[in-house]
Amino acid sequence: MANTLLTPDVLARQSLVTLHENTVMLPLVYKDLSREFEGTAIGETVNVRRPATFTAKVFDPVTGIEIQNATETSVPVVLDKIADVSFEVTSKDLTLHILDFDEQFLNPALEAIAQHIDRALLGLRSDVTAVAGTTPAGFEWNKPEVLIEAGRLMDIAKIPTANRYAVTGPTTKAQWLNSDIVKHADKSGSTEALRRGSIGRDLFGFEAFQTQNVGQAAVTPAVGQPTTEVGVAFHPNAFCFVSAPLEIAPGSNASVMTYKGVSIRVAYDYDIKFKKTVVSLDTLYGVKTLEKERAVLLKGADKA
């Protein structure tokens, strides 16, 4: 029986799931993927819908209820990045079972795209001005209690208490994991966080994660530069990720699929000149800070 080639549709479907599972920041931020974005080219601006906001009113039995407009506002986001990974495969590679192909090729390729997207989203930290981790004593950046201070700042800013996340780097994670609060998580009846290797599922009202894409401080930081890792605590609506389906060239062997706010294009073609098959994965996207007030940096003091 002849082997069946893996099609772009199959590769694209598997790629989206793998990409979403490999990212840290992407699942935590606001995403908008509308059909009106189809056919968008790199450098174009799209208007991202922001969730509607309402104000609770006191009911007056004489005048009745007050109808509020549920009009969604929008914010412009430039789709200025295409994350791309292209690689060569043999005809034999394309006859592998999808799980084998995923392990050998898709996973490493999509890990690279995932890291790229996470770094782009973490780059939005430069827009955030609120800081926790320098004062007061006992709430320093290298202690999980810093989230108490971050929560206080977010409470003052009237940020919803639900869906609060914290993303830190390897050094912060190591410091936090040495805390009795995290080490003794099993005493609260839940060891899920420790089994998964994450920092904690409910630390002072935050779900905490770590990623290697939170860079380390410079060995000899200049004046004004951070002396520690710079993590971030935030609500999803602080940052947004926007993806748009890329066009498929007529006659090309390609497929575009979307999953949970992310669009990816997978194409492959045989290069007759060099007798090789090239597989290409790419995604068009843009990132933007929606409300910096919904985020707090987790860091120590800058170099004086």
The string of DSSP codes covering 261-293 is TEEEEEEEEEETTTTEEEEEEEEEEEEEES-GG
Q: What is the pLDDT of residue 234?
A: 97
Given a cut of 80, whether residue 129 has pLDDT beyond it is yes
Q: Are strands 45-50 and 239-244 parallel, antiparallel or unpaired?
A: unpaired
Q: What is the pLDDT of residue 187?
A: 47
pLDDT value of position 153: 96
pLDDT at 191 over 70: no
pTM: 0.80
| Amino acid letter, 118 | D
- Cα–Cα distance measured from residue 213 to residue 168, given in angstroms and rounded to the nearest whole number: 9
> What are the structural domains of the chain?
8-48+74-123+241-289 (no CATH), 128-238+292-298 (3.30.2320)
pLDDT band at 235 (very low <50, low <70, confident <90, very high): very high
pLDDT at 43: 65
Burial state string for 129-160 with b = 16 or more CB within 10 A and e = fewer than 16: ebbbbbeeeebbbbbbbbbbbbbebbeeeebe
Q: Is 7 left (phi over 0), alpha (psi -120 to 50) or beta?
A: beta
Triad 242, 130, 210: Cα angle to 5°: 60
More confident residue, 52 or 167: 167
- Does 236 sit behind a cis peptide bond, omega within 30 degrees of 0 on the bond before it? no
Half-sphere exposure of 64 (CA within 13 A, CB side): 2
pLDDT of 195: 34
The amino acid at 178: N
Judging by beta carbons within 10 Å of its beta carbon (0-12, 13-18, 19+), is residue 273 exposed, middle or buried? exposed
- What is the rounded distance in angstroms from the CA atom of residue 159 to the CA atom of residue 206? 13
Helix %, strand %, coil % of the chain (to 5): 30, 30, 40
Confidence of residue 185 (pLDDT cuts 50, 70, 90): low
Which one-letter DSSP state was computed for residue 106? I
Rounded to an integer, the average pLDDT of 263-280 is 83
pLDDT at 3 over 60: no
Q: Is the pLDDT of residue 304 over 80?
A: yes
d(CA 137, CA 139): 5
Whether the predicted pLDDT of 151 surpasses 90 = yes
Per-residue pLDDT band for 23 (boundaries 50, 70, 90) equals confident
**Angstrom distance (rounded) from CA 106 to CA 145:** 39
User: What integer is the mean pLDDT of 225-229?
Assistant: 93
Residue 221: count of CB within 10 angstroms of its CB: 13
Output the average pLDDT for the chain. 82
